[in-house]
Chain A
Amino acid sequence: GQSLEQPSEVTAVEGAIVQINCTYQTSGFYGLSWYQQHDGGAPTFLSYNALDGLEETGRFSSFLSRSDSYGYLLLQELQMKDSASYFCAVGGATNKLIFGTGTLLAVQP
């Protein structure tokens, strides 16, 4: 089967850098995505990694190591509006899109 593990909660202060890790087990791995969800809202796409390495999009970066079945989302210059849940997701050979359990990020002033 497929499974993804993330820390349940992370707390950081404004202006800091935070890393949210994701380890996965899946068959026929295609890529790792990251989504942000504010309380009660719809998840929105942040980034996608198909190959090993770092992808940077503004304040957010995402990293993937296929050999380690591991990735992370890096958020820099944290702002209060970054307080949200963050989910990693994998697409695999079965064409499912499976999400992790989510990490609740609390940004404090």
Chain B
Amino acid sequence: DGGITQSPKYLFRKEGQNVTLSCEQNLNHDAMYWYRQDPGQGLRLIYYSQIVNDFQKGDIAEGYSVSREKKESFPLTVTSAQKNPTAFYLCASSQGLSWDAEAFFGQGTRLTVV
């Protein structure tokens, strides 16, 4: 079955540690996105990538980093520079520049920093 997979579902880390969230898709989509969602809030764009080996900052990129070495994979690293990293992180993919294409979301990773 085609889809987008995020792992792990729950993640606990100590303050000051970097952590990497995985996102893999087998939909052959060009575009991939990372969003952060805080309780009762909307989705805020962290980073996005339209093509392999290229990515752009979203609205809240500070304290995060990404890579896009393969079309299928778009991992997100939450660094120690992120002041308030505890949140629900959602990865999405879409066909690309065709804006009538829906975005498909993974099930999310709930990160808790203690």
Chain A contact residues, CB within 8 Å of chain B: 30-31, 33, 35, 40-45, 48, 50, 87, 89, 91, 94-102, 104
Partner of A87, one of B33, B43, B102, B104: B43
In the complex, A91→B48 CA distance in Å? 12
The interface residues of chain A lying within 8 Å CB-to-CB of B104 are: 45
**Given contacts A87-B42, A97-B45, A100-B42, A42 and B90 within 8 Å (CB-CB):** yes
The interface residues of chain B lying within 8 Å CB-to-CB of A40 are: 108
Closest A-B pairs by Cβ, 5 of them: A45-B102, A42-B105, A91-B99, A101-B42, A30-B99
Q: Report how many residues on chain B are interfacial, defined by Cβ distance under 8 Å.
A: 27
In the complex, A35→B107 CA distance in Å? 14
Name the residue on B nearest A88 (C-beta). B42
Partner of B108, one of A30, A42, A48, A94: A42
The answer on a CB contact under 8 Å between B99 and A50 is yes
In the complex, A100→B59 CA distance in Å? 13
The interface bits of chain B over 50-82 (1 if a CB of A lies within 8 angstroms of the residue's CB, else 0) are: 100000101100000000000000000000000
Name the residue on A nearest B43 (C-beta). A99
The answer on a CB contact under 8 Å between A97 and B103 is yes
Q: B41 an interface residue at 8 Å Cβ cutoff?
A: yes
The interface bits of chain B over 20-53 (1 if a CB of A lies within 8 angstroms of the residue's CB, else 0) are: 0000000000010101000011111100101000
The answer on a CB contact under 8 Å between A48 and B102 is yes
**A95, chain B: closest CB distance, angstroms:** 6
Partner of A50, one of B35, B59, B100, B108: B100
Partner of B48, one of A31, A33, A95: A95
**B35, chain A: closest CB distance, angstroms:** 7
The interface residues of chain B lying within 8 Å CB-to-CB of A91 are: 99
**B54, chain A: closest CB distance, angstroms:** 11
